[in-house]
């Protein structure tokens, strides 16, 4: 009979240890979830992905897929500049809202620039999908001319232009565009 009591005591200790470890893991997962939500802008910091609204875009000179030269001087009020990467799940998520918004701009694709970040091989489908609504600029990474001028630190990035190369609205979610339209 003492063997049964000893086995039962050991089993209770193991169950208590398991419970303590489970509670610790749950607490840690909550901390990670909070950090992820904060980083992805679900709490605040909508404009952290690019220069903030009110900042002036840096100088740049790029050539679009249509062989048009674009500089900061070409950015007009109401123009939309967006940054996408084919390796970005959030880009895929916000792409339909971007396409809807860009399709409704009065100037058509002349008022929209989509900067695609990645290698030429991986950009093919994305370029084809967005070329109907936007002028396409390709850059290898966030150290390209437009990415640097806009202070891009990740993607997707959506920027609505104000006057004189100043950002009227900026964020990593496409809803920043519809929120700006209301203002």
Rounded to the nearest angstrom, the gap between the alpha carbon of residue 127 and the centroid of all alpha carbons in its chain is 17
Provide the CA 93 distance to its chain's centre, in angstroms: 10
pTM above 0.85, yes or no: no
Predicted pLDDT of residue 37: 58
What's the confidence (pLDDT) of residue 88? Answer: 86
Q: Select from 150, 155, 74, 163 the least CA-distant residue to 112.
A: 74
CA atoms within 13 A on the CB side of 122: 12
pLDDT digits (tens, 9 = 90+) for 127-154: 999 999 999 999 988 889 999 999 999 8
pLDDT at 55 over 90: yes
Q: What is the pLDDT of residues 1-35, one digit of tens each?
A: 788 888 888 999 999 989 888 888 888 877 767 66
Residue 20: count of CB within 10 angstroms of its CB = 10
Can you give the three-state secondary structure of 7-72, one letter per residue? HHHHHHHHHHHHHHHHHHHHHHHHHHHHHHHHHCCCCCCCCCCCCCCCCECCCCEEECCCCCEEEH
- Assign 175 to helix, strand or coil: helix
Confidence of residue 155 (pLDDT cuts 50, 70, 90): confident
Provide the pLDDT for residue 180. Answer: 58
For the segment 52-71, the average pLDDT, to the nearest whole number, is 94
Mean model confidence pLDDT for the chain? 86
Which helix (H) or strand (E) segment holds residue 182: the answer is: helix 175-182
- What is the model's pLDDT at position 44? 42
Q: Which of 115, 17, 20 is nearest to 64 (CA)?
A: 115
Instruction: Return the pLDDT at 46.
Output: 46
Q: How confident is the model at residue 175 (pLDDT cuts 50, 70, 90)?
A: confident
């Amino acid at each position: 009979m003492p063997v049964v009591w000893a086995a039962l005591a050991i089993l209770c200790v193991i169950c208590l240890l398991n419970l303590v470890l489970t509670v610790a893991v749950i607490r840690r997962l909550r901390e990670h979830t909070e950090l992820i939500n904060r980083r992805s802008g679900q709490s605040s910091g909508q404009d952290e992905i690019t220069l903030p609204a009110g900042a002036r875009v840096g100088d740049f000179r790029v050539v679009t897929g249509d062989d048009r030269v674009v500089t900061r001087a070409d950015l007009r009020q109401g123009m939309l500049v967006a940054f996408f990467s084919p390796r970005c799940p959030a880009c895929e998520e916000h792409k339909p809202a971007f396409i809807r918004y860009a399709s409704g701009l009065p100037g058509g694709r002349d008022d929209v620039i989509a900067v695609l970040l990645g290698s030429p091989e991986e950009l093919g489908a994305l370029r084809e999908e967005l070329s109907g609504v936007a002028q396409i600029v390709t850059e290898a990474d966030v150290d390209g001319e437009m990415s640097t001028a806009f202070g891009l630190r990740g993607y997707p990035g959506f920027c609505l232009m104000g006057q004189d190369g100043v950002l009227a609205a900026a964020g990593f979610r496409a809803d920043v565009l519809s929120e700006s339209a209301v203002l």
